[in-house]
Chains A and B, each alone.
Chain A
Amino acid sequence: MSKNFGKHITVFAGVVLILIWSLMPLYWGLVSSLTPAADMVNAEFHLVPTRVTFDNYEKLLSSTSISQGNIVNSVWPMFKQASINSLITSLAATVITVLLAAFGSYAFVRLRFPFRNVLFGLIVATMAIPAYTVMIPLYRFLAGLGLIDTYVGVTLVYVSSFLPLALWLMRSVYESMPLSLEEAAWMDGASRMYTLVRIVLPLAAPGLIATAILTFLNAWGQFMIPLTFSPTLNTKPLTVLITEFVSRNYMDYGLMNAAGMLAIIPPLLVVVFLNRYLVSGLMAGSAK
């Protein structure tokens, strides 16, 4: 009885510690985004903020805002454009990557063709290559095509860097599917393509969703790639814009944290609503 009790206490303490460790930094980010500028220099420790303001969010989300008593232009146009850029490039990269991986991975698993294993091995190996190894030649190549600071250019770079992981995940999905279903369809005279589209892909849906989630999260959080390939607001994403609040005159921590809190909404929604697929994807990615 007492041994069980001790066990329960240990487990409970462990859970509490994990919750604090995982959520406390986010809580501080939220608190500082809601703290009035005057209180930001307050050096006292408060677990709960004494005063709450939405000034920072107003600066980000409304057309004008009040700064030191004056009506000034807010950062909303920039913030809006960067949010749109983040969404467009992340979604485009996700759709293209998942499509390519859905069909390509099937070929790598089920169809025999020349150079199959060499190609797959080389592609997977690129996961270990740091982005900076390809950055300069890639920049020159895309600049030659006039694709720097365009949605097409940034999306292409995203696809090339997230495709290996997507292929890897989809391979383990297809490998775990029984061949008998496909064979039955072939026996009935269905073509390979018909079988893939009408039978295999629907069954692989959870795996496709997991792959899409991981790709989207990777693209949404990207910093190094757009730092180089998105120099202006034409394609500049939130991640790059937020860091620019740092260098403007002084560090506006409240504004930065407010922008950060808004930028984490899409990943937050994914974790809350698609957690099941996310976890299965992470687990599948680690299986052999």
Chain B
Amino acid sequence: MLNRSMSGRQRKSKQSEAQLGLLLALPIALVMILLVFFPVCVTMWDSLHRVDPMRSGTPFIGLQHYWELFEDQSVRTAAFNTSAYVLFTVVLETTFGVLVALLLDYINVGRKWLLGIIILPWALPPIVNALIWLWIYNPNNGVLNNFLLSSGLIDERHIWMNDRSTALILISLVHVWRMMPLTAVIILAALQSIPKELYEAADLDGASIWRKFKNITLPLISGALAIALTQSTLFAFNLFDEAWVLSGASQDTRTVLIQVYMSAFQDMHFSYGMALSVVVMFVSLSVSLFYVLKIYRETRFD
């Protein structure tokens, strides 16, 4: 567009562009460096030392904390619980999220209102959600026991959080209640971008609903599905509020993040908790990276 004689001016405008860009990005860079990048580096550095308010000195201990983590029975239990949460919530959120999105995509009347109601649990403070469910699950006079008793499905009151697998499932349900709307919205966005002609053509060929879903819908929402899976995996991996409110520090339901909190802030083993949080960070990052690379590859071959 610009000819050679303007290259001097062009260079100058490029320079001013870079200056303006740096100026606008500077406050963001500052906030992120001071409040995120710098603390992350300190955490990684400290995790290689023994930082413990109860003991003097902060000697360098290398990877000792990391080796201890593998041996630590509480950490193993927490890792198992978190894996269970990830499995339950991702499967439930994805299955029901896709079903809800298909339903929303299908109906034409009142979609806006239904969508608003579906999003509601996601928009509320997670702590309030968890407290409502705490009351529902209450062993003495919670709604769940009352309902199941009066409808004759159970004979006696259950203390739901006493049984480990029940507790894991019930806590997962609370998380699913909050996070499933996000999956539904992400999938709905993808569904609405599918040209309707594709289905009309398939109808002419007499394709069944299942075949249409498998051969048209599924391939065209695979990108959105990957994004939905990423976010539901990450949120489940970082589960804290629901498990904390519903059964506190109980070993049976403790997540890795609760374990970090317990090690660092309750047992006051600062750098040990930090080492665990670094492991959590790297697992989170690799999960995201895995999905991002997968999406990137898929969109490139399109």
A25 in complex: contacting residue of B107, B136, B150, B189, CB < 8 Å: B136
A243, B131: Cβ atoms under 8 Å?
yes
User: Is there a chain B Cβ closer than 8 Å to A5's Cβ?
Assistant: no
Hey, which chain B residues are within 8 Å of A48, CB to CB? none
A275, B17: Cβ atoms under 8 Å?
no
Hey, which chain A residues are within 8 Å of B118, CB to CB? 18, 22
From A54-62, A68-76, A109-117, A203-211, the one touching the partner chain is: A109-117
Hey, which chain A residues are within 8 Å of B274, CB to CB? 133, 136
User: Is there a chain B Cβ closer than 8 Å to A2's Cβ?
Assistant: no
A130, B284: Cβ atoms under 8 Å?
yes
In the bound complex, CA of A163 to CA of B18 (Å): 22
A111, B17: Cβ atoms under 8 Å?
yes
Hey, which chain B residues are within 8 Å of A128, CB to CB? 234, 281, 284-285, 287-288
User: Is there a chain A Cβ closer than 8 Å to B270's Cβ?
Assistant: yes
CB B246 to nearest CB in A, in angstroms, measures 11
User: Is there a chain B Cβ closer than 8 Å to A36's Cβ?
Assistant: no
CB B46 to nearest CB in A, in angstroms, measures 7
B116, A134: Cβ atoms under 8 Å?
no
Number of A-B contacts (CB under 8 A): 269
B124, A264: Cβ atoms under 8 Å?
yes
CB B228 to nearest CB in A, in angstroms, measures 7
Hey, which chain A residues are within 8 Å of B287, CB to CB? 128
CB B15 to nearest CB in A, in angstroms, measures 10
CB A132 to nearest CB in B, in angstroms, measures 5
CB A143 to nearest CB in B, in angstroms, measures 12
A129, B284: Cβ atoms under 8 Å?
yes
User: Is there a chain A Cβ closer than 8 Å to B28's Cβ?
Assistant: yes
B35, A157: Cβ atoms under 8 Å?
yes
Hey, which chain B residues are within 8 Å of A267, CB to CB? 123-125
User: Is there a chain A Cβ closer than 8 Å to B60's Cβ?
Assistant: no
User: Is there a chain A Cβ closer than 8 Å to B194's Cβ?
Assistant: no
In the bound complex, CA of A21 to CA of B177 (Å): 8
From B4-12, B36-44, B70-78, B158-166, the one touching the partner chain is: B36-44
CB A239 to nearest CB in B, in angstroms, measures 5
B24, A103: Cβ atoms under 8 Å?
yes
Count contacts on B: residues with CB < 8 A to the other chain: 96
In the bound complex, CA of A160 to CA of B44 (Å): 19
Closest chain B residue to A120 by CB distance?
A: B25
CB B163 to nearest CB in A, in angstroms, measures 20
**CB-defined interface of A21-38 with B at 8 Å, one 1/0 digit per residue?**
111011011001000000
A275, B119: Cβ atoms under 8 Å?
yes
User: Is there a chain B Cβ closer than 8 Å to A100's Cβ?
Assistant: yes
Closest chain B residue to A21 by CB distance?
A: B177
User: Is there a chain A Cβ closer than 8 Å to B129's Cβ?
Assistant: yes
In the bound complex, CA of A30 to CA of B222 (Å): 39
CB B6 to nearest CB in A, in angstroms, measures 14
Hey, which chain A residues are within 8 Å of B215, CB to CB? none
With A107-B21, A160-B36 already in contact, the answer to whether A271 and B43 are too (CB < 8 A) is: no
User: Is there a chain B Cβ closer than 8 Å to A66's Cβ?
Assistant: no
B132, A122: Cβ atoms under 8 Å?
no
| 5 cross-chain CB contacts under 8 A | A114-B22, A129-B285, A132-B257, A163-B31, A286-B231
Q: A15-B103, A18-B103, A288-B295 are in contact. List 16 more A-B contacts (CB 8 A).
A: A18-B100, A18-B114, A21-B177, A28-B135, A111-B21, A126-B37, A128-B285, A132-B273, A133-B278, A141-B38, A217-B123, A224-B240, A275-B116, A279-B119, A283-B186, A283-B188
B positions within 8 Å CB-CB of A: 14, 16-22, 24-25, 27-29, 31-32, 34-40, 42-43, 46, 99-100, 103, 106-107, 112, 114-121, 123-129, 131-136, 138, 140-141, 143, 145-147, 149-151, 157, 177, 182, 185-186, 188-189, 223-224, 227-228, 231, 234, 238, 240-241, 245, 257, 260-261, 264, 270, 273-274, 277-278, 280-281, 284-285, 287-288, 295, 299
A positions within 8 Å CB-CB of B: 11, 14-15, 18-19, 21-23, 25-26, 28-29, 32, 40-45, 100-101, 103-104, 106-108, 111-114, 116, 119, 122-123, 125-130, 132-138, 141, 156-157, 159-161, 163-164, 167, 192-193, 217, 220-224, 238-239, 242-243, 246, 253, 256-257, 260, 263-264, 267-268, 270-272, 275-276, 278-279, 282-283, 286-288
